[in-house]
Structure 1
Amino acid sequence: MECNMDNKNSQLHASSINYPSHFWAQAAKSIDWYSAWDQVLDDSEAPFYHWFKGGMMNTCFNAVDRHVLAGRGEQIAIDYVSPVTDTEYGITYAELQAQVSRLAGYMDAIGVKKGDRVVIYMPMVPETAFAMLACARIGAIHSVVFGGFAANELATRIDDAKPKLILSASCGVEPSGVVAYKPLLDSALEQATHRVEHCLILNRSQLEAPLQAGRDVDWQTGVATAANIDCVPLAATDPLYILYTSGTTGQPKGVVRDNGGHSVALAWSMKHIYDINAGDSFWAASDVGWVVGHSYIVYGPLLVGATTLMYEGKPIGTPDPGAFWRIIAQYKVKSFFTAPTAIRAIKRDDPNGKYLEGVDLTGLKNVFLAGERCDPDTLHWVEGKLQKPIIDHWWQTETGWPVAANLMGYAPVAVKAGSPALAVPGYQIEVVDMMGEQVAANESGNVVIKLPLPPGTLTTLWQNEQRYIDSYLSMYPGYYLSGDAGYKDDDGYLYIMSRIDDIINVAGHRLSTGRFEEVLCQHEAVAEAAVIGVEDALKGQVPLGLVVLKKGVNTTEQELNEQLMALVRKEIGPVASFRLVSAVQKLPKTRSGKILRGTMRNIADNKKYNMPATIEDPATLDIIRNTLTRMGYADAQVKVS
């Protein structure tokens, strides 16, 4: 890919920073408004900024109704693919409108009004999208919590959001089997101090659940008799949703997203970053419990009139490592978005790309990766196998849409492995030292974003403005602290190397875990790697590496360790003091694919830890503890607190 469009990108970015009101007013033309705004950017309450103040609109109208009114009601809005239940079907925009308006009618009938909160505790089924859109339709504020989330974690979110209604399902279906949701919901409601009067339950055929009289209503029964409800005009600054992200205090942080700025930013990003327009097919292989699911399974694609693919399955095991490629071919997916960890899983099980044979991917234009740093080896592997542009990009739950990316729908630039490319228009990214001074090119520091943040980013934390300031704005006044460490190269390309907390201090040398993992993944036997800093009496910390091997690898542990240590010494140097490495069967990860390095570090340093709420497989922590104990670090007696 040529880099001859750099100037065009630079001009667009400069326009967004120097003339933000004009830039975003132009972008807002892609959204339908009931009435125009008084101010594009209101900074009178800084650091609390408000976009499109005075404007009236409705997110659901923009995502659903306007496409039906434009004569495109028969276009598929959602393609639902569920290999775990052997189910596939499409939902047109007209059908989506009917489902959403009736569900909104049910909510209205039981007294859910604008500003009321609704918790959605559901699996990856179309009804989950209906629920989000129905809330948006009447101005209720939704908060999606992973189906299957632990009861105590769900209870904390219920107590924080204080919902009038909970929408749930009898069960979820995982490759490992059916997961009963209703007992978890019942337990959470018992633990919560906030009393919830209404629960609407989708009973699935895989496991039906008994309903509690007076509180629980069967989904199909409740919605069948409901009236259709039109969209309610809302202020652009009204909250659309709360999305909880884990906080360091153990109390979850409720990220608040507004309606107007969110719709404008997502519509802009779909076209400029993901190269998706009306009628195109887009697939974000994530979960609606994560921000990716909010932004790019439900809202983003529908706002531009595209077809979004909703998938209930895994990259491997449902049924094999070729599942993603066959679905992309079958549904003519134009742009595909997944996590690097999904690609690593496919690479581990199918290192030679056997499952790609005979699969027609001519319609696939771009593959986007985010959620965890994409090491160059993973990028090169999938690039070589697919022969498509592989686009790493960087963003967070708090930002809601990409901060650094390659604008594939506007002016693509050269791909540099290991980098999410350049700052997206609207974001002024800087890399600073501990004192807040900008560092030189190629020098590592803390990644920050100059205020104001663009539309679509968090406006505050739910009912906790002080925590918003303390968490993100207080360390560097005038800047948003991303929590990530990295650097920019001479061309302005950003490199995110690790979380700030994952920087290892070896005898006074600050080294990034991402750089170690990048080197370890260069070894032909390694599918993925995680590096943590463990306490050392002499050097303060030393790096310890855990690697997962590709299937079919035939090597001894001693040979592998010697080769990996030599590789790190060659690439990083002796200052790395890299002498601790072991192979493991699996790494502990969140359900979105983020490796739980902090938890592993606590295990290695014999510190008590809480079981992470979003962990995908708790058994992986036992694997890590046993491995670290064998290496002489973890104490097998220290358990979850």
Structure 2
Amino acid sequence: MTSPNPAQSRYFDVYESWKRDPEGFWAEAAREIDWFEQPKKIFDANEGVYGRWFTGGVTNTAYNCIDRHVKNGRADQPAIIYDSPVTGQVRILTYADLLTEVATFAGVLKEKGIGKGDRVIVYMPMIAEALIAMLACARIGAIHSVVFGGFAANELAIRIEDTQAKAVITASCGIEVTRVIHYKPLLDHAIELSSVKPEVCIIVQRPQEIATLIEGRDYDYAALLDDAKARGVSAACEPMAATDPAYILYTSGTTGRPKGVVRDIGGHMVALKWTMKNHYDIDPGEVFWASSDVGWVVGHSYIVYGPLLHGATTIVYEGKPVGTPDAGAFWRVIEQHKVKALFTAPTAFRAIKKEDPQGTFLAHYDVSSLKYLFLAGERADPNTVQWAEDLLKVPVIDHWWQTETGWAIAGNCAGLGAMPIKLGSPTFALPGYELHVLNESNEEVARGQTGALSIRLPMPPGCLPTLWNNDQGFIEGYLIEYPGYYKTADAGFIDEDGYVFVMARTDDIINVAGHRLSTGAIEEVVANHPDVAECAVIGIADGLKGQVAAGFVLLKAGVVREINVIEKEIVAMVRDQIGPVAAFKTVLTVNRLPKTRSGKILRGTMRKIADGEAYKMPATIDDPATLEEITAALKAKGFGTSVEAA
């Protein structure tokens, strides 16, 4: 693979053009969107908390994702490929098929009393109907809030209550590798718990489990669709203000109040459409696969809206990187559907690396269609990036963003001509983001010094304008600590060449005897041990030093060396490469790390266990039993003796 040549990249020219004229830059990008009425102002600093984009503009997301492509010659092109190794199904929906399904279901929703501004909870597995439901809401101007399928009833109830949801769209069950998750009992319990009672629940009945419907409230999705098609029911696209909410997506917060990130319609479309070519180098008609879930922001932006706005083909994958059926699952999908770019979380590749360290499964598949691997969702450790690049022989592009931003803050813009990478860095800030590294006094630190990564206001289009019904919470949570900036709550630095390094959440900077150390930097060292498949480093309270670092490691499949020898080698590596100041003496070898369903390691919860603090079981945890394993491992080392789950 040839190294990128900075002289051949247009990145710096494009970034500087944005800095010179931000409104002109986004006005040009907005020409890629079909407007019913053109915006009166590109940016209005007098609207909203910090200003609003494309005020006065009128448009519709579903129209831009579907109708215009059907009108412009893409009717027969695949829009959605549903690939489900857990059920053995592959289903292809062309843009014409998608228009029929979405317009019909939108008509069904209207007949059930759902209209512009109403909130609809979408509680779905990774099936095509999840996308149809989201787009149908967009078509009629309803505001959807997707809740990850299988979330606990209490968490679902909180979201029903906070949104004042009028309807819920769900499925009878979700299907995992080893189990069926019963959605309907969770939904019924959530409605019991909630003071808000949705008027309508529409259920996709899956053959693996047929849910019992409550008369007068619950309806069978397929029966409604069949009846509506027979009667010719169809809904037109509702004209929507660019500043109207497209959706609400809840993210983790430190307070008891739900934190509903709002995405507005106009800025959302403009930003995502721009990224598809300029960042991901995807052309209309090409196949883009974001291996995520519609319950997360990646699923919203790059399974549903980004690819469809662009006229590309998107993949809805109901499976895992390993176990459905093996560590070659991703390679099979790439070959079968001719995927040009794969976007996934680093944890997916760590799982593949753990099961198949030599990458032997790849030899069974033709993945020559793949031109890029994009990683995001958590920090991409250099070891995993290097392993993936050596295996696939394509650029591996780390990029950094958040639920709140909706698209990348920093990343290597493949469509502008990729820049040379530095392992551990997502490269440069994207146009729209002026990134600064600040200290506690709101002062910029020197290049190379770690501080709080912060974005100068205003945020670009596509980022949250506020939290749902909580402007003050938005101001207090994101804008007060660093006046004039948005607080990302991520720590890192910008080096002399302008490369951004995101090292940890700000609360993952540990203080060892007065020395501020990044757990991410220590994890880089640990991950380089040849027997380590995956790792996590946390700070544990220490009476003498304040905190000390401890590492948790998973070993690669087939490793037979003595564990205590490996652990001593890891300690020596950290001492050699970070220094004795890290006081790194504790390594715990475990079988699994506790993670969210999106693959993020629950370091904060692990730290509470280690410090013997009570903790709340995270709503997003994939398997609660992993916390029991971590607790046992820590207790064996003398940590966390008074811990209990709240």
Identify the residue that residue 182 of structure 2 maps to in structure 1. Answer: 180
Instruction: Return the letter of the residue paired with 1:451.
Output: L
Is 2:637 aligned against 1:631? yes
Shift of 1:154: 0.3
Shift of 1:440: 1.0
On the 8 A contact 2:9/2:418 being kept in 1, the answer is: no
Say if 1:5 and 1:412, in contact at 8 Å, map to a contact too.
Answer: no
Q: Is the 8 A contact 2:145 2:248 kept in 1?
A: yes
User: Following superposition of structure 1 onto structure 2, how do residues 326-345 of structure 1 map, counting pairs within 5 Å?
Assistant: 326-345=332-351
Match of 1:170 in 2: 172
| Counterpart amino acid of residue 553 in structure 1 | V
User: Following TM superposition, by how much is the alpha carbon of 1:3 offset from its aligned partner in structure 2, in angstroms?
Assistant: 3.5
Distance 1:62 1:337 in 2: 23
SS for the counterpart of 1:460 is coil
Q: Of residues 558, 564, 569 in structure 2, which corresponds to 1:558?
A: 564
- 1:281-305 per-position Cα deviation (integer Å, ceiling 9, x unaligned): 0000000000000000000000000
Name the residue aligned to 1:152: 154
Q: Which amino acid aligns with 2:360?
A: K
Q: Is the 8 A contact 2:385 2:396 kept in 1?
A: yes
CA distance in 2 between counterparts of 1:232 and 1:582 reads 56
Query: Residue type matched to 1:414 in 2?
Result: P
Q: How far is the alpha carbon of 1:249 from its aligned partner?
A: 1.1
Whole-Å Cα distance in 2 between the matches of residues 109 and 629 of structure 1? 58
Structure 2 CA distance for aligned equivalents of residues 102 and 14 of structure 1: 45
- Return closer, same or farther for 1:46/1:58 CA change in 2, 3 Å cut-off: closer
Report how far residue 197 of structure 1 moved.
1.1
Q: What does 1:367-406 correspond to in 2, within 5 Å?
A: 367-406=373-412
Aligned equivalents of 1:190, 1:521: Cα separation in 2:
46
Give the Å deviation of 1:72: 1.2
Residue 217 to residue 80, structure 1, CA distance change in 2 (3 Å): same
Is this contact kept in 2: 1:5–1:411, CA < 8 A? Answer: no
What CA deviation, in whole Å up to 9, does each residue of 1:181-230 have, x standing for no partner?
00000000000011211101111000000000110011111222231111
**Aligned partner of 2:354: which letter?**
R
**Aligned partner (choices 94, 102, 109) of residue 100 of structure 1:** 102
Using the alignment, how far apart are the partners of 1:7 and 1:145 within structure 2? 39
Do 2:49 and 2:471's aligned partners in 1 also have CA atoms closer than 8 Å? no
Cα displacement (A) at 1:6: 7.6
Q: Distance in 1 between matches of 2:9 and 2:120?
A: 46
Is the 1:47–1:452 Cα contact (8 Å) retained in structure 2? no
The amino acid of 2:368's aligned partner reads T
Q: How far does the alpha carbon of each residue in 1:424-457 deviate from its partner, in whole angstroms, 9 at most, with x for none?
A: 0000011111111111111100000000000000
Looking at structure 1, the residues matched to 29 and 475 of structure 2 have their Cα atoms a distance apart, in angstroms, of 28
Aligned position for 2:246: 240
Structure 1 contact 281–334 (Cα < 8 Å) conserved: yes
Q: 2:129, 2:593 → 1: CA distance?
A: 32
2:55 aligned partner: 53
1:151, distance to aligned residue in structure 2 (A): 0.2
Residue of structure 1 equivalent to 2:201: 199
Aligned to 1:123: 125
8 Å contact from structure 1 (residues 557, 582) kept in 2: no
Per-residue CA shift, 1:548-606, capped at 9, x if unaligned?
10011122122112101110011100111000111100000001111000000000111
Query: 2:323 & 2:9 partners in 1: Cα distance?
Result: 45
Cα offset for 1:5? 3.6
Does residue 1:347 correspond to 2:353, yes or no?
yes
| 1:466-485 correspondence to structure 2 within 5 Å | 466-485=472-491
Residue 496 of structure 1 aligns with an amino acid whose one-letter code is V
Q: List aligned pairs for 1:234-273, cutoff 5 A.
A: 234-273=240-279
1:492 paired residue number:
498
State the partner residue of 2:303: 297
**Where does residue 113 of structure 2 map in the other structure?**
111
Q: For residue 541 of structure 1, what is the aligned residue in structure 2?
A: 547
Q: Which amino acid aligns with 1:95?
A: D
CA deviations over 1:288-330 (Å, ceiling 9, x no partner): 0000000000000000000001000000000000010111011
Q: Equivalents in 2 of 1:18, 1:599: separation in Å? A: 44
**Paired amino acid for 1:424:** L
Partners of 1:137 and 1:249 lie apart in 2 by 34
C-alpha contact (below 8 Å) 1:17/1:427 kept by paired residues: no
**Percent identity (aligned):** 55
1:418 to 418, 421, 424: 424
Specify the code of the residue in structure 1 equivalent to 2:643: V
Paired with 1:361 and 1:315, the residues of 2 have a C-alpha distance of 15
Q: Distance in 2 between matches of 1:498 and 1:252?
A: 24
- Report how far residue 144 of structure 1 moved: 0.1
Whether the aligned pair in 2 keeps the contact of 1:444 and 1:486 (CA below 8 Å) is: yes
Q: 1:7: Cα distance to partner? A: 7.0
Shift of 1:46: 6.0
Does residue 588 of structure 2 align to residue 572 of structure 1? no
Which TM-score applies when normalising by structure 1? Answer: 0.99
* CA distance in structure 1 between the partners assigned to 2:163 and 2:320 by the alignment: 30
Distance across 2 between alignment mates of 1:427 and 1:47: 18
- Secondary structure in 2 aligned to 1:155? helix
Q: Which deviates further from its counterpart, 279-288 or 42-51?
A: 42-51
Following superposition, which runs of at least 4 residues in structure 1 exceed 4 angstroms of deviation? none
Query: 2:590 maps to what in 1?
Result: 584
How many matched pairs?
Answer: 640
* 1:6-85 matches, cutoff 5 A: 8-45=10-47, 47-85=49-87
Query: Is 1:391–1:405's contact at 8 Å kept on the other side of the alignment?
Result: yes
Deviations 1:122-162 (A, max 9, x none): 10000000000000001000000011000000000011001
Aligned to 2:534: 528
Query: Structure 2: how far apart are the matches of 1:476 and 1:266?
Result: 27
Distance 1:209 1:2 in 2: 54
Cα pair 2:9 2:417 within 8 Å, conserved: no
1:220 aligns with 2:226: no
Deviations 1:394-413 (A, max 9, x none): 00000000010111011210
Q: 1:545 to 1:195 in 2, by over 3 A?
A: same
Contact residue 170 and residue 203 of structure 1 kept, 8 A: yes
Q: Can you give the 5+ residue segments of structure 1 that lack an aligned partner in the other structure?
A: none
Q: Contact 2:479/2:486 (CA < 8 Å) preserved in 1?
A: yes
The 1-side partners of 2:197 and 2:268 are apart by 31
Could you tell me how far apart the structure 2 residues matched to 1:588 and 1:391 are? 26
Q: 1:2 Cα shift? A: 2.4
Provide, for residues 622-641 of structure 1, a one-character-per-residue CA deviation record: whole Å limited to 9, x for no partner. 01000000010012x53210
Is 2:642 aligned against 1:640?
Answer: no
Unpaired segments of 5 or more residues in structure 2?
A: none
Q: Distance in 2 between matches of 1:416 and 1:619?
A: 37
Separation of aligned partners in 2, 1:434 and 1:553: 45
* 1:223-278 deviation line (CA, Å, top 9, x unaligned): 22231111111111110000000111133200000011100000000110111121
In the aligned structure 2, how far is the partner of 1:95 from the partner of 1:558? 58
What amino acid is aligned across from residue 97 of structure 2 in structure 1? Answer: E
Q: Residues 484 and 500 of structure 1 are in contact (CA less than 8 Å); yes or no, is this contact kept in structure 2?
A: yes
Normalising by structure 2, we get a TM-score of 0.98
Secondary structure at 1:265 match in 2: helix
Q: CA deviation at 1:512?
A: 0.5
CA distance in 1, matches of 2:252, 2:408: 20
Amino acid of the structure 2 residue aligned with 1:171: C
Equivalent position amino acid for 2:75 in 1 = G
**Alignment partner of 1:607 out of 610, 613, 635:** 613
In structure 2, what is the equivalent of residue 364 of structure 1? 370
